[in-house]
Structure 1
Amino acid sequence: ADKVVVLNGGRIEQVGSPMELYHNPANLFVAGFLGTPKMGFLQGTVVGVHAEGCEVELDARCRLQLPLGGTALTLGDPVTLGIRPEHLNRSTDGSCQLEVKADVSERLGSDTYCHVITQAGEPLTMRIRGDFTPRYGESLKLTLDAAHCHLFDREGLAVGQPLRQVA
């Protein structure tokens, strides 16, 4: 399809091409509706707003600088960070952003979907190339690709657009 209309209880949430909706969801409903496995959501608070983006302190005990124009944000605002499974990576160099516990792994041949739980009890799914099987309960350290994070305000609406350099 060239255009998709996402409905929620008979109400239009967003209209656009499939990839536009996937990469730029207007709200939490659209973000969670598109994609398999679906986007993971982490709760947090805005702790910094500046020209280059914003800084969020996640309930899962990590801070993250996001290149999102957050002019509508103020310090202390509650937010939800959205991250797709393909934008979570294992950290091996000490640049950890998020500590999680392994839950279940789905080995699919070329990819493994590893379901994990954050320190705040929030479930996430990460997509790893190849065969990876952590033990149940094993501690893992992850990095979040900040350029691909989505931020939603307390009403569930998308906040800001990624700040990208013009080519």
Structure 2
Amino acid sequence: DQVEAMTLADKVVVLNGGRIEQVGSPMELYHNPANLFVAGFLGTPKMGFLKGRASRVEASGCEVELDAGCRLFLPVSGTTLNAGDPVTLGIRPEHLNRGSEGNCQLTVKADVSERLGSDTYCHVVTGNGEQLTMRIRGDFTPRYGESLSLTLEAAH
């Protein structure tokens, strides 16, 4: 049970089919997952994934052009990438923001909203069909199919 592991453990071992994927503290695994399995397994709601390509690569970071329609510079080492390489960007629901201010703006369509009191989980779909979940404070409830602008926090 990931919730129990995250709240009670000092060290977590993430297994996938009997194989160890990553070992570390709960927050180390949450913030620095070793692969897509660990990234998608930890966290509620789950991390969203967007496909794209590396468009510029530097030692200090890399620029990614997402298939969903925006480009952003990520402050992560790009030494193992070449321009044109396919990439998958993982983003947690709390790092997606409503609005059009920021360097990577996506237009999405609202799907289902889960109003939980202090938070709302808004499930959205990008123009190319990728699904994301936004965690929004309060009781924001868009209409089904409503067009929304959101930005990604590149630091995360």
Could you tell me the TM-score, scaled by structure 2's length? 0.91
Match status 1:143 vs 2:151: yes
Report runs of 4+ in structure 1 exceeding 2 Å deviation: 92-96
The C-alpha deviation readout for 1:51-90, integer Å capped at 9, x for no partner, is 4311111110111111111100101100100000000000
Compare 48-57 and 19-28 and name the one that shifted more: 48-57
Query: SS at the partner of 2:94?
Result: helix
Aligned equivalent of 1:119? 127
Q: RMSD over aligned Cα, in angstroms?
A: 1.2
Amino acid of the structure 1 residue aligned with 2:13: V
Change (3 A) 1:137 1:59: same
SS in 2 for 1:86: helix
Shift in Å, 1:97: 1.3
Determine the structure 1 residue equivalent to 2:4. none
1:65 aligns with 2:93: no
**Count of matched residue positions in the alignment of Structure 1 and Structure 2:** 148
Match of 1:14 in 2: 22
Structure 2: state its 5+ residue gaps: 1-8
Amino acid at match of 1:75: A
Alpha-carbon shift at residue 98 of structure 1 (Å) = 1.0
Contact between 2:48 and 2:91, CA under 8 Å: does it hold in 1?
yes
Q: Mapping of 1:46-65 within 5 angstroms?
A: 46-65=54-73
The residue type equivalent to 2:120 in the other structure is T
1:77 to 2:85 alignment? yes
Distance 1:43 1:107, change over 3 A: same
Partner of 1:98: 106
Match of 2:42 in 1: 34
Whole-angstrom distance in 2 between the partners of 1:47 and 1:92 = 22
1:121, distance to aligned residue in structure 2 (A): 0.2
CA distance in 2, matches of 1:92, 1:116: 16
The answer for the alignment partner of 2:12 in structure 1 is: 4
Distance 1:92 1:64, change over 3 A: closer
Q: Is contact 1:100-1:116 (8 Å) kept? A: yes
CA distance in 2, matches of 1:54, 1:95: 14
2-structure distance, mates of 1:49, 1:95:
18
Identity score, percent: 83
CA apart distance, 1:94: 7.6
Amino acid in the other structure paired with 1:47: S
